[in-house]
Amino acid sequence: MKKKFVSLLMAMTMALSFSVSVYAAEQPKPATRGEIVNTLLTTADAYQTGLKKDAIIKGNGNGSLKEEQPVKKVEALVMLSRAFGELPEPVGNDLRTGTFGVQFTDVPAWAKKDIDKLTKAGVLTGKADGTLGVNDTITLAEFQTIIARVWALEGSHVNDDFYEAINKQWLNKSTIPAGEIMGGGFSELQKQNDDKITKIIDDLSGKSFAKGTKEQKLADFYATALDTEARNKQGIEPIQKYIKAIDEAKTLDELVQADLTLEKELGMSTLFQFGIMSDAKNSSANALYFTGLSTGLDKNSLVNEDAKVKKAHIQYMTKMLMLTGEKEAAAKARAEKVYEMEKSLASVSLDPHEQGDVNKYYNPYTIEKFDDMHKEVDIKQALKSMKVDTADKVIVFDVKLAQKGAELLTGANLETLKAYSKVHLLTATGGLLSDGFRDAANEFAAIYGVTGEKTDKEIAAAITTSTMSGYLEQMFIEKHFSPEAKKDVEQMVDQLIATYEKRIKALDWMSETTKAKAIKKLDTMMVKIGYPDKWDTTLDKVTIKSYGEGGSLFSNSFAVTKAYGDNKKATLHKPVDRTQWLTSVYTVNAFYNPLNNEITFPAGILQAPFYDTKAKPEANLGAIGMVIGHEISHAFDNKGSAYDESGNANNWWTDEDFKKFKQKNEELIKFYNGIEIVPGVLNDGLLTLSENVADLGGMAAALQVVSEKSNPDYKAFFESNAKLWKSTTTKEFAALLSKNDTHSANKVRVNRTVVNFQEFYDTYGIKPGDGMYVTPEDRVSIW
């Protein structure tokens, strides 16, 4: 399947671990000086022993404190500085995500010392003109946001910031490996798995094996991945004929034929993004889907035209085109045309939160109607060339995107299309070609804060791990996963499903009719633990050659890609193989697939800290137990709830129950919306709704299992959960995720979820005035 299609499929397959809602409200009033003082007396008391009012507010020297007057921003900040006293020096995650290097131009002399202290702590943000806005008013909500930054920097009280307090030691020492974008519990465990796989590969490296064996194919593939000298010597030779065909196309039809040749020989296309998966309205059969032309940047970056990202993206495309022999000026002009084309595509495409919504993505077209959409392209001939012409319909994921793409596929737009096709070919293949392409990609990644580069060996191992997973998965399981672990987790899943059923039966907002349908969905849910019952044999059909035999990293990689693509095409209109896995077994993640009504927990995640045979049961329930509950909950989130027990998009709700469900979803959107992730970057409650439903439902189910134990250790449960989500990333990438990832930021996933459970308040003595306190009437729940 094509890269974009896979990403959309995974967006629909709700995973554990990729538009801003606006609600009308009254304009908040500016805070008064007295309100600021009273707020600080409550919020800073744990950080300065014996804090008194007169230490915070000084007045004007004649005894008048003017507490009833609106406070100026500079006054509020100075009072905050006094209330919290000395602040920790930012290190680790705080240094990575705070705001530093700013020099505000409007700070009065009397406030400079305090403002400098807060600036050095990284907790202040200013205006675009370089001012702080010292004479502006400030609301209590705005002031509370700055206090929350200080709490995070301190990280010493669970009552104010649970996530930071539990993970502070790790966060302070946290690093991001060279060439990576983040670090954390998931990343650390994935690194452990990668190291184990690399050792398996290394043990085969340099040895001779019989031709056609697993060992020979793995050893020779890895050797080609490691051979940078041969790869650099080849340059763009592996794709030269495809580049030539694109460059020399004189008509739209010639460009289309060049692309279809690419698809026929390599199994990839730049102009026709099709994929095959279960028909969402008949999940037992496979159907043909069309995703439309892809873009090199996310929708938000293109539509809002982020100047820094735009410049970097155009520069990246320019450098790739230059590596094929184009002059810089011409390459840049073509890159700019591609950017404008991608912007036009992005402007009409579905928003990220819509992509997994079956009511948005399921748009069946007859072949005739789909062909008619493309005025100057013979779609029937294209489908025949790609060997998917047996399809009786095409399900269009994004109608407006498809229409815009068809509008652009014209002879009048030929030169831009040629540049677009060439750029996307280079993007898809550059990592398998000369180092110049990797250098260009690394330079582009720097805009998201990525520093350093992976070693050649790390890159070679990563490519081998990804491409040759069909063999490496088997070896990984043999060495690193026991049948006992699989059996133990299966029992945990059974326990969580049974608990979920009890919770559904106890719901006070759902009718018995809908409850029966929900329980049926639970009872028929397929569970996949550890590894598949049968291994995929696609790689058995693939010949892997060394450079000495005429092979290359490029040819070997696309031999594999084409083999999997051909296998997928052969499933069109065939019954869906429900035993097939959509992920590798060494992935550190978990999934719910609504089209199969299945939950999957690969062996890769069934290790410490997620699952530890030596840990207390409550700790395991706070980690892998919550993960299991999370994936079960995806069957009943705002997207998964549209599918029945067989995986068909089918409304099984009564009208009244669905109305109540939608209302509860609206409450969750508001509850998780607008929470600051890093200074100036907010969590989007609408984008992250499905994952927040799953987090909340998963914790509720796992916590109920804990509560049914004698003398339950809630502390072990909550702290295990908080440690599970420890994470660090760059400010730039956090901002990108906030617009594109359906998961809330990890800190939000902890702090905004635990506060909905009374056991949390009882365990830690959380009380009104604490940062973690939410009044009972404002807490949210669904399942």
d(CA 408, CA 342): 11
Could you tell me the end-to-end alpha-carbon distance of the chain, in angstroms, rounded to an integer? 35
Q: Please list the alpha-helical segments (H only) found in 205-352.
A: 214-226, 228-234, 240-247, 252-266, 299-303, 307-322, 328-348
Asked, as a colleague might, if the bond just before 609 is cis with ω within 30 of 0, I would say yes
d(CA 781, CA 663): 11
Question: CB–CB of 521/644 below 8 Å?
Answer: yes
Q: Of all helices (H) and strands (E), which one includes residue 706?
A: helix 689-707
CA distance 40 to 591: 43
Euclidean distance between CA atoms 562 and 574, whole angstroms: 19
Give residue 187's pLDDT. Answer: 94
Backbone φ, ψ for residue 25 (5° rounding): -155, 160
All CATH 3.40.390.10 domain ranges of the chain, comma separated, are: 471-536+580-778
Give residue for tokens 């750029």.
423
Rg over CA atoms, the chain: 28
Q: Are 529 and 493 in contact (CB under 8 A)?
A: yes
Residues 195-209: b if buried by 16+ CB within 10 A, e if exposed: ebbbebbeebeeeee
CA pair distance 350, 121, nearest whole angstrom? 40
Give the other-Cβ count within 10 Å of 391's Cβ.
18
pLDDT at 23: 34
Q: Which residues are CB-neighbours of 461 under 8 A, at least 6 positions away?
A: 194, 197, 198, 201, 222, 225
Look up the CATH architecture of domain 204-467. Answer: Orthogonal Bundle (1.10)
Please tell me what DSSP assigns to residue 369.
H
Q: What is the pLDDT of residue 13?
A: 60
Query: What's the pTM?
Result: 0.94
B/e letters for 420-443, b = 16+ CB within 10 Å, e = fewer, are bbbbbbbbbbbebbbebbbebbbe
Q: Provide CATH 1.10.1380.10 ranges for the chain.
A: 204-467
CA angle at 581 for the pair 562 and 622, rounded to the nearest 5°: 140
Secondary structure class of 3 (helix, strand, coil): helix
- DSSP per residue, 504-562: HHT-SSS-HHHHHHHHHHHHT-EEEEES-SS---GGGG-----GGGT--HHHHHHHHHH
Q: Compute the residue count for the chain.
A: 783
CA distance 248 to 261: 14
Give the mean pLDDT per block of 10 residues along the chain (783 residues): 46 51 58 97 94 88 82 97 97 97 94 97 94 96 97 98 98 96 95 96 94 97 97 96 98 98 97 96 97 96 94 98 98 98 98 95 98 97 97 97 98 98 98 96 95 96 97 95 86 96 97 98 97 95 95 97 96 94 95 97 94 92 97 97 97 97 98 96 98 98 97 98 97 96 98 98 97 98 95
Distance CA 122, CA 77 (A): 13
CA atoms within 13 A on the CB side of 109: 0
Q: What is the pLDDT of residue 734?
A: 97
CB-CB contact of 148 with 171 (8 Å): no
Distance between CA atoms of residues 50 and 730, nearest Å: 37
The fourth-level CATH superfamily of domain 471-536+580-778 is Collagenase (Catalytic Domain) (3.40.390.10)
Helix (H) or strand (E) holding 197: helix 185-204
Angstrom CA distances, 489 to 528, 648, 706, stand at 10, 28, 16
Helix or strand (DSSP H, E) at 139: none
Give Cα 49 distance to the centre of its chain: 42
In degrees and rounded to multiples of 5, residue 139 shows phi and psi of -85, 165
